[in-house]
Structure 1
Amino acid sequence: MKGFKFLLTLAALVLFLAACGSEDGGASEEEAGTGEGSGGQTYTVGIDTTYPPFEFEDSNGNYKGIDVDLIKAIAENQGFEVKLEPMDFGGIIPALQAGQLDVAIAGMSITDERKEIVDFSEPYFEAGLTLVAQKDNSEIEALEDLEGKTVVVKSGTTGAQFAQDNQDEYGYEITVLEDSPSMFQEVSNGNADVLIEDYPVIAYAIAESNLDLKIVGDRLNGDNYGIAVLKGENADLLDKINAGLEELKDSGEYDEILNTYISE
């Protein structure tokens, strides 16, 4: 009888240990899925991969650029993970509003209009808009030369807003496209007279791709880029982003990232 009781006790102990092991395994899988297994939460980050040198996809399908390297470095510094989600620039803020993204880093200029919808980090890059024409165009040097001309811009950008705000004063037509390469092609083909683009982006594109384009005149403004989260949400995450950005600047890693893609 004692032997029978011993066997029952032994069987119960085995079942108990198996149940504990099963629970531990489930917890490990959950941590791996959320990124907590490596010490922090995973956040989904919206990027626009048609925007070199800030974001682009290389020949091996890897996402690269200033913004990509910067958000990864901030995440590593602050102990969280990121999942990059490429999309058209015009869809990034709506995706934040819909809860599909936690963060946006896409060469996004800090504007009062956008501040009504998102909270920005401290500025991480000073850009500025510029006019771009065909290389052999000798007629256009400034906004005053655009009367009766066609200006192409990218949807949802500060360049598009600038063009709309100044259209009546300078008397040009506006064509809106969805990405930067399409804008470059539109001017190169002669379908539009000029485009409006962020200075570092077009300077990089002309240098790297040997485009038949040139920058004309002075910069039109002095935009600053910021990293965005939905307004009133993710305040703790925004604090981490700002803290990480400051530490990267202090350590020199921020300059190293910029120098990888932009030479002075």
Structure 2
Amino acid sequence: MKKLLATLSVAALAGLASLAPAAAAPLKVGVAAEPYPPFTSPDASGKWSGWEIDFAETVCKKAELECVITPVAWDGIIPALNTGKIDMIISSMSITPDRSKVIDFSDPYYRSNAVIIGPKEQTFGATPEELKGKVLGVQVGTMHMAYAQKHFAPAGVTLREYQTQDEANNDLVAGRIDATQADAIAMQDFLKSPTGEACCDVKGTVPNDPEVMNTAAGIGLRKSDTALKEKLNAAIKGIREDGSYAAFNKKYFDIDIFE
């Protein structure tokens, strides 16, 4: 009888254990698999670092969320979010009307202007008229590509597409393109590098076009994840107020890129 009771007790405990809620899986934070320094880049071992990695870790901690960095090819990052392969996008994704049709966004967490970069020895500016007849390099799937297709291509500017901004920069240095349009903050490292400093400078700032280009970056979310959006918005506000945003920001920039 004792043996039977013991067996029943073990079975009952096992049954209760099976009914206990499973530990929540970490949320997968999607970042573009293509390096985008100083925001995101992997080392030789595959460990990711950069401003946006620090931001993701800080905001997840503030929101009391367990998160794991998950690299995804940029041109497939929105489908990966909507099919559940990742749970959010923290990858310098600008908040645009077209993207807002298919995903939701948190409040902005940084801002940066778009600029035209070209060879130092040339004196053209950043307008369609000044770039007419030139070859402009842009990264595919970005607001810069959308802007260039709308404003530069119709004015007689030839567009050349690149999977990464580094590829466009390399072709600019090699003289295979005349200019590139990109994020001003992201281009700082290139322009400060020996190669970039010797080669190129900023030709001008590109005016905003709210239909295709917004200088504010937000966390990309599924439209159904309203509770997660509320948590992240509160966390963004919280890390601004408690000084932790400023602490990691000054590791990378001399200015507050939130403003």
Root-mean-square deviation (Å): 2.2
Query: Do 2:29 and 2:70's aligned partners in 1 also have CA atoms closer than 8 Å?
Result: yes
* Residue in 1 that maps onto 2:217: 225
The corresponding residue for 1:246 is: 237
Partner of 1:214, secondary structure, is strand
Shift of 1:126: 1.0
| CA distance in 2 between partners of 1:59 and 1:199 (Å) | 27
- 1:73-88 correspondence runs (5 A): 73-88=58-73
The offset of 1:102, in angstroms, is: 1.6
Whether the 8 Å CA contact 1:48–1:56 is kept in 2: the answer is no
Aligned residue among 24, 33, 45 for 2:29: 45
TM-score by length of structure 2 reads 0.86
Residue 16 of structure 1 corresponds to: 8
Is the counterpart of residue 214 in structure 1 residue 201 in structure 2?
yes
Q: Is 2:184 the counterpart of 1:183?
A: no
Q: Give the 3-state SS of the residue equivalent to 1:95 in structure 2.
A: helix
Task: Give distance in 1, aligned partners of 2:92 and 2:178.
Answer: 24
SS in 1 for 2:95: coil
Q: Deviations over 1:139-167 (max 9, x none)?
A: 32332321111011111101001100112
Q: Provide closer, same or farther for how the CA distance between residues 214 and 25 of structure 1 changes in structure 2, counting only shifts above 3 A.
A: farther
Alignment of 1:102-181 (within 5 A): 102-134=87-119, 136-143=120-127, 144-181=129-166
Separation in 2, partners of 1:28, 1:57: 38
Gaps of 5+ in 1: 1-7, 36-41
Distance in 1 of aligned mates of 2:201 and 2:18? 58
Larger helix proportion, structure 1 or 2?
A: 1
Between 52-61 and 235-244, the greater mean CA deviation after superposition: 52-61
Question: Secondary structure in 2 aligned to 1:261?
Answer: coil
Confirm or deny that 1:90 pairs with 2:82: no
Residues 161, 20 of structure 1: CA spacing in aligned structure 2 closer, same or farther, 3 A cutoff? same
Secondary structure of the structure 2 residue equivalent to 1:140: coil
Identical aligned residues as a percent: 24
SS of the aligned residue for 2:86 comes to coil
CA distance, structure 2, for counterparts of residue 20 and residue 184 of structure 1: 65
Alpha-carbon distance change, 168 to 195 in structure 1, aligned in 2, over 3 angstroms:
closer
* Preserved contact between residue 150 and residue 172 of structure 1 (Cα < 8 Å): yes
Q: Distance in 1 between matches of 2:103 and 2:114?
A: 22
2:226 to 228, 235, 250: 235
Residues in 2 aligned to 1:209 and 1:28: alpha-carbon distance in whole angstroms: 58
Cα shift at 1:21: 5.3
After TM superposition, the score normalised by the length of structure 1 is 0.85
Q: Alpha carbons of 1:69 and 1:177: their partners in 2 closer, same or farther (altered >3 Å)?
A: same
Amino acid at match of 2:116: L
1:195 is matched with: 180
Deviations 1:202-238 (A, max 9, x none): 013322564233222234436111111122x110001
Is contact 2:115–2:126 with CA below 8 Å preserved after alignment?
no
Change (3 A) 1:172 1:263: same
In structure 1, C-alpha distance between the alignment counterparts of 2:15 and 2:52, rounded to whole Å = 39
Distance 1:77 1:87 in 2: 24
